[in-house]
A and B are shown apart, each in its own frame.
Chain A
Amino acid sequence: MKRFSILSCVILLLAAALAVGSATFLGPCVHEDGSFGSCHWAGQALLGVGCALALQALLAMASRHRAGMFLGMIPTALLGLFLPGTLVALCRMDTMRCRAVMRPASAVLCGAILLLALAGALIESRKGK
């Protein structure tokens, strides 16, 4: 029987929060004239990263090779960490939603997923020995 993985569940929840949040309550503001800034695309990219991480977490739940699945989450979480502000430019005022909400929230969520994935990979690889 497969063991239940609490870590995968927590990662799934965090990834879902990242995906749903970047499209809703954590997302960048909409410009008054209806145009999109680059922060909008950073939000869209985070939605993708969140979905990818959620899928990886689901696969980790079902997989026998959890250590590998957890290791695979690390680069995706790193991508989410560096997307807003580093890889994709944001608005140039710190008080704007993309800087005040989206970037710190994605940093906290992706940072937590990164740490949990590292811990998961370590635990699972020890169990395998």
Chain B
Amino acid sequence: MDRRSLPLKNLLRRSARTAALVLLTAFLAFSVFGGSVVVASLQRGLGSLESRLGADIILLPSSAQSKVSFEKLFLQGTTGAYYMDRAALDRALECEGVEAAAAQTFLATLKADCCSTKIQVIGMDPETDFTVQPWIAQSYGTPLGEMDVAVGSKVEAAIGESIRIYDENCKVVARLAPTGTGLDTAVYCNMETMRLLLKAAENKGVSHPITSDSDDLISAIYVKVQDGADIDKVNSRLTGHVRGATAVRTRSMLTQVSDSLAAVSRTVTALIAAVWALSFVILLIAFAMMAGERRREFAVLRLIGMSRRMLSHMMLAESALASLAGGVAGLALGAALVFPFTTLIETSLALPYLTPSAGTIALFACGTLAVTVLVGAAASAWTAWRLSRVDPGTTLREGA
């Protein structure tokens, strides 16, 4: 008899018991791995949102009840179009404490040519923009030309392909890196293209109520405040100075997102802790029940010459093997349910969500496996100790 192969043979011989242990540990590993990936993705999404906002203050038209719409646009990719006069940009630049200001114009399509979804088109000036342009520059080195567009990572259009917006053909020149925010569902162009698209939209019956001249329309002004300037004071000054616009501090938006994220993280962590506690108790009970069932088996093994130490090791090896199998199954299940459904999770949570890098995911997987095996071994340790102390003579006499 090969002593080293005994744990595996024991597991295979009692397939129902092994399957129950594997299932339990699989559930444990699934909850830890899935929960960790979701929480890490939310944290990465928040980081991405912070870097993409890139401005201290955003000026939006007061008429749009804009803050909510803007947040939805940023976080969920909801389309929105609200306009103010371009003169607001000059007035913002005149304001004390403003270091830089850049305008963007939004246009929501009626529907794309491919399907019934609406797309948000964002026009910006590559020369002055300091929020979107650095992101576009990561994928496309030269400024966007007339009728050139860059598409977010969630818009399925290949480079070189044309997409039709209000019957105008726009050439896709870049696909942008994912940000985990609503910006991934938008299409970006320069202001010249945006003017043509606004005119095309007018021709299709879409009205831009504040002015008849689409050259003068902007939707948002991103403001960078000078170093050392009080952002709150600049915020109030901008609200007073730029008529018809409301200044929103990006920090307040980020704080709200961060609070929502903390609440989701707390819930996920509490669920993981509950699953762990429950699984550990069930494992303890399962191993304790097993102890009664296997007393005679261990007594026989003692009689044929196995030491107490060998018996303990055998029991621990059995639980470690079962936990390892369960851990691998749990990881596979977690990977199959979390990664393919990333978009669904993101839209359901309505929070920025960016999947961690492959290295981080591999670390999570290794950590989950290690912890699952350790928990399995810890739950069986007491049973292993008890069984190794079985008196073979008494046990076999009792059983006879």
CB pair B116 A100 closer than 8 Å: no
A92, A103, A111: which contacts B114 (Cβ < 8 A)? A92
Mask, A59-99, CB within 8 Å of B = 1, is 00000000000000000000000000000001111111001
Q: Which of chain B's residues 126-159 have a Cβ closer than 8 Å to chain A?
A: 153-157
The closest CB in chain A to the CB of B118 belongs to A93
Mask, B184-207, CB within 8 Å of A = 1, is 110000000000000000000000
Q: B352: shortest Cβ distance to chain A, in Å?
A: 14
CB pair B344 A100 closer than 8 Å: yes
The closest CB in chain B to the CB of A93 belongs to B117
CB pair A104 B340 closer than 8 Å: yes
CB pair B341 A104 closer than 8 Å: yes
**B20 touches A (CB below 8 Å):** no
| B-contacting 9-mer, from A13-21, A30-38, A44-52, A120-128 | A30-38
The closest CB in chain B to the CB of A35 belongs to B116
User: How distant is the Cα of A29 from the Cα of B117 in the complex, in angstroms?
Assistant: 11
CB pair B341 A100 closer than 8 Å: yes
**A108 touches B (CB below 8 Å):** yes
User: How distant is the Cα of A26 from the Cα of B22 in the complex, in angstroms?
Assistant: 29
Number of interface residues of B (CB under 8 A): 22
**B119 touches A (CB below 8 Å):** yes
CB pair B343 A100 closer than 8 Å: yes
The closest CB in chain A to the CB of B153 belongs to A94
**B273 touches A (CB below 8 Å):** no
A93 in contact with B115 given A100-B341, A104-B340, A111-B336 (CB within 8 Å)? yes
**A55 touches B (CB below 8 Å):** no
Q: A36: shortest Cβ distance to chain B, in Å?
A: 10
A99 in contact with B156 given A33-B116, A93-B112, A93-B117 (CB within 8 Å)? yes
A37, A92, A105: which contacts B155 (Cβ < 8 A)? A92
Q: Which residues of A contact B344 (CB under 8 A)?
A: 100-101, 104
**A58 touches B (CB below 8 Å):** no
Q: Which residues of B contact A101 (CB under 8 A)?
A: 341, 344
**B8 touches A (CB below 8 Å):** no
Q: Which residues of B contact A91 (CB under 8 A)?
A: 114-117, 156
Q: Which residues of B contact A94 (CB under 8 A)?
A: 153-156, 184-185, 343
**B48 touches A (CB below 8 Å):** no
